[in-house]
Structure 1
Amino acid sequence: MKLKTRLIIAFFVIIFVPVFLTSLALFGFGRYQLNSIEETYGIKDPSYDTLSNSVQMVSKFTQKSFEEMQDQAGRDPDMFLDRSYLDTLNEKLSGKASYLIVRRGGEMYYSGKEENIDALFEELPPYGDYNKISDSGVYIGKDVQAFVKQMDVDFTDGSEGSVFIITSVSATLPQIKSLVRDMVIAIIVILIFTAGFLTMWIYNGISTPLKKLKLATQNIKEGNLDFTMEAQGDDEISGLCRDFEQMRRRLKESAEEKVQYDRENKELISNISHDLKTPITAVKGYVEGIMDGVADTPEKMDKYIRTIYNKANDMDRLINELTFYSKIDTNRIPYTFNKINIKDYFDDCIEEVGLDLESKNIELSYFNYADADTIVIADAEQLKRVINNIISNSVKYMDKPKGYINIRVKDVGDFIQVEIEDNGKGIATKDLSNVFDRFYRTDASRNSSQGGSGIGLSIVKKIIEDHGGKIWVSSKLGAGTIMYFVLRKYQEVPIDE
């Protein structure tokens, strides 16, 4: 669940859930307190309206006692001059947070409260106000704060008096105070519970993926990229975890590429060093022979110098390959594209290559089936590098006493296809897909006759692809290999007049 959705849900939950639970608490506590009021004060079927109306409530829980007093006044008003009877009445009223006051004439005759009530007595209604007071009584405010019920009495001796039921506001309905206290506590508990639940819900939705992210960052900090960060859900943090996992994969790929790159560089240096050592050793040997006078005839001197020259060419070729390899890695191969006539170009190229192959006892055959005016757009120098690298590779793996290399140039529609075939040792089927990879060798063994930098065919593939062409190979182990590559022909586009 998305974090935005969680916050929206939390917003509504924190509003409606406390309201609902508070309503339930109010109903429960209210019913309990109403039952308590009914049992304590003898009020039949009290309601929530009764609780909300203090005057009505006070009137009800003293009403029965007031009616009994009215009956007694009708039968024998002088009973209200009997202090023992008044004490009995006052004792009943005390259980209802009330007490009794009797006034005879203008003086206080009886007080059911031991405390000083002079201030209250002065505020009591005068004789004759009974009919002006409602059945609920009257409220006396100011410093007194009490509910008063009045009953006027005419004693048999001709004196007048009033009997009052006084209910203290501060002592009225402890159940209401208890209800308010319980509701305040319930509301606090409900808010704490709701807030705690929502906090844990949102926290768990965030903390779990954050812990995964923290663990993942620690792994990356320690250089460990061999872990998987699984993310479930469609929330924002899960999306961040998925992005983090993609970043980890990219970092791991980059690290593996760097390791591979470093290994290839080390292998290249090793290969070049090995291949340079052989011609340098030969050059030193022949130079020492010349210095020691071993080449004492013109024929020997010519042979020594020619051998030194050939070995120097081998070293130059290796150095050129190394330089070109660095340009491949930085995509800075210096191409100079021009229009090249296929027939003229390959005729010159074959003539140059043939002289070198002849000295190695390898027969060269050349067939050009393309039209004499066929043209391609290519870099002549780099295309020559392609041909020389392929032929050099064929010569390197030539295992026959009499070798041959067959070069065929064909017209295949919009392309020129060049085929370079040899009768060397061939390539196993399992190795065909890897021959253009850097440093890949079909023969793991290495000696001076089959050395090389290991990047010759990868250079060939790069050049052909940069020309918009394609290269592939077919071979049969023990029989020979055929290298194919195609280049798109150049065609004049007519301009509409």
Structure 2
Amino acid sequence: MTIRRRLILSYVAMVLIPLFLILIIGMILTRVFFGGEAGDGNKEGIFPMHGAAFSQVWETINQREQVMNGVKFIAEHDPGLLADNEFLTETDKTLQGLQAGLVVVKNGEVLFASSGVNREGLEDDLSKVGTGGERRHSGWIKEPKVNGRYNAERVDFVFAGQSPGSLYLLSDLNPVFNKMSQFMPTLFLSLLIVIAFTNLLLTFFVSRSIIRPLYTLKHAAERIKEGELDQPLELKRRDEFGEVGEAFEEMRERLKASIRLQLQYEENRKELISNISHDLKTPITGIKACVEGLRDGIADTEEKRDKYIAMIGQKTADMDRLIEELFLFSKLDLKRLPFHFEPVDLHRYLEEWAEELKTDPRYKDVHIDFRSKLAGPLPVLADRDKLKRVLMNIGGNSLQYMNKPEKDLRIELDARPREAIIRIADNGAGIAGEALPHVFERFYRAESARSSTTGGSGLGLAIVRQIVEEHGGNVRADSAVGEGTAISFTLPRRGNLPMGGEQE
């Protein structure tokens, strides 16, 4: 479930749950406060205060109002009856049945008081009726409370003989409304408690579903900050946090791979420096030995001096070649070497290169054979100079490891719909199977001891791979020990530009 849907459901629950609970609480409070007033015969369900119960209450209130209005009418039009004790007694019985009463005062003295009225302190209570906060209406004054339980209405009139009199109509506080004054605050307090409880409960569950994955992400981030990248992050959720967790896990994997690659680069850099130092130290040591031999007079004949000078020249050339290939490899590795792609007839290009090798003194003992499975031209997109470097490096590598009396170098050309295939094979010593995957790595030599006597700089085939890949092709090596080695690479045919097209 998504966080958005979870929040929407929590908002709905925030409304529905309090309504449901307050309904249940209202039922319970109604039974507690009003169960007795409904009558024992009410069997209508959980609500005791409904139907006949409420009708009975309101009927009592209406009857009381009618009787009181009649008594007030008598006080205004026939006050003599209010001096009749029999009339007052009958009226009092009627009012008592309606939870009411009356008090008649003549000349400031209580002439009659209902039997339910406590006479102690009555005159003081009556004297306060009509003072402070009074409300006048139709000649009478309403003022609570008498005996602490009655609402009082006072009607002033005049007895026969002009004696002043006052009628006090007393209304007992309705027990239903008295309990209602307790019921409503209790219900309101219950509503507040229910809302607070529901809010806390929903907040707890919703926040826990949000906070827990946040803490998980926080701890994962702290582990990554400390460099611990091996422990995976498993949220196992199908919401937004699950998506964040997947992205976080992908970031962890990429960061781990990036650090591993960085460490590999650092290791390669150290190895590169070590290899450069080794390959440069060998010719420098030879040059130093020759110079010391000349300086110390060891070369005491012209023939020896010429030999030492020739050796110095050879070592210098080796250093120059190594530095040149290292510089070329660095520019290729940093993508700073421009490539100029143009249509090239590969068939004719390889044919001319094969003829060039036949005239090269280094290949005078090598039988060079060019074979093409195509009858006509084969146009490709290539950089002529860089392609020449690829062919020369492969040929030079084959030449170094030819150890048979009859040396063969075969150049083969084939094609597929989208690429041309060039294969250069020799019948040299071959490469062991465990060394074959590494022949295109920089400074790698198949022989066990690092020596430039039989091997080259160790950069030749690494340069081949980088140039071929810049052309949009790929390179591979096949070999069998004692039988020879074949280096194959592909070039895109015309119309299939490598990535980036022409590079300047």
Q: CA deviation at 1:122?
A: 8.2
Match of 1:342 in 2: 349
TM-score, length basis structure 1:
0.73
- Give the letter aligned to residue 126 of structure 2: D
Distance 2:448 2:167 in 1: 126
Identity %: 32
Q: What is the CA-CA distance between 1:97 and the residue it aligns to?
A: 12
- The aligned amino acid for 1:356 is R
Q: How many aligned positions are there? A: 438
Q: Distance in 2 between matches of 1:437 and 1:175?
A: 96
Q: CA deviation at 1:416?
A: 5.3
Cα deviation code 1:192-221 (max 9, x no counterpart): 111112211221121111112211221222
* CA RMSD, 1 decimal: 4.4
The structure-2 alpha-carbon separation of the partners of 1:447 and 1:121, relative to structure 1 and needing over 3 Å to count, comes to closer
Write the distance in 1 (CA, Å) between the matches of 2:33 and 2:22.
16
- Counterparts in 2 of 1:418 and 1:171: CA distance versus 1, 3 Å: closer
Matches within 5 A, 1:85-104: 100-103=101-104
182, 192, 210: which one aligns with 1:178: 182
Answering whether residue 265 of structure 2 is matched by residue 261 of structure 1, we say: yes
Residue aligning to 1:495: none
Correspondent of 1:410 among 399, 409, 413: 413
For residue 459 of structure 1, give the secondary structure of its aligned residue in structure 2.
helix
Cα distance in 2 for partners of 1:480, 1:221 equals: 52
Identify the range of structure 1 (293-302 vs 417-426) with the bigger mean alpha-carbon deviation.
293-302
Question: What SS does the corresponding residue of 2:37 show, helix, strand or coil?
Answer: helix
Instruction: Name the CA shift for 1:310/1:238 in 2 (closer, same or farther; >3 Å).
Output: same
Displacement, 1:103?
Answer: 3.5
Cα distance in 1 for residues equivalent to 2:174 and 2:31? 23
Judge conservation of contact 1:101–1:108 (CA < 8 Å) in 2.
no
105-114 or 27-36, which deviates more: 105-114
Equivalent pair of 1:268/1:453 in contact (CA under 8 Å)? no
Q: Which moved more, 1:331-340 or 1:23-32?
A: 331-340
What's the counterpart of residue 153 of structure 1?
Answer: none
Contact 1:97 1:172 in 2 (8 A): no
**Contact (CA 8 Å) 1:102, 1:110: kept in 2 or not?**
yes
Which residue identity does 2:49 align to in structure 1? S
Contact 1:396 1:449 in 2 (8 A): no
Structure 1 residues 26 and 364 mapped into 2: Cα distance closer, same or farther (>3 Å)?
same
1:366 matched to which residue of 2? 368
Cα displacement string for residues 302-323 of structure 1 (whole angstroms, at most 9, x for unaligned residues): 4433333322222122212221
Aligned counterparts, 1:200-219, within 5 A: 200-219=204-223
Q: What is the alpha-carbon distance in structure 2 between the residues aligned to residue 248 and residue 313 of structure 1?
A: 49
How far apart are 1:456 and its partner, in Å? Answer: 3.0
Counterpart residue number, 2:13: 13
Structure 1, unpaired ranges of 5+: 67-76, 124-138, 151-160, 492-497
Larger mean CA deviation between 263-272 and 15-24 belongs to 15-24
Paired residue for 2:501?
none
Is residue 481 from structure 1 mapped to residue 481 from structure 2 by the alignment? Answer: no
1:466: Cα distance to partner?
Answer: 2.2
Aligned partner letter, 1:467: H
Change (3 A) 1:439 1:225: farther
Show CA shifts across 1:62-84 (max 9, x none).
99xx9xxxxxxxxxx769879xx
Q: Provide the C-alpha distance between the structure 2 equivalents of 1:140 and 1:466, rounded to a whole number of angstroms.
A: 109
1:108 to 104, 108, 111: 111
C-alpha spacing 1:489/1:243, structure 2 compared with 1 (3 Å) = closer
Structure 2: unaligned runs, 5 residues or longer: 69-84, 132-139, 155-164, 496-504
Q: 1:177 to 1:122 in 2, by over 3 A?
A: closer
Matched residue, 1:117: 125
SS at match of 2:410: strand
Deviation of 1:223 (Å) = 2.4
Using structure 2 for the length normalisation, give the TM-score: 0.72
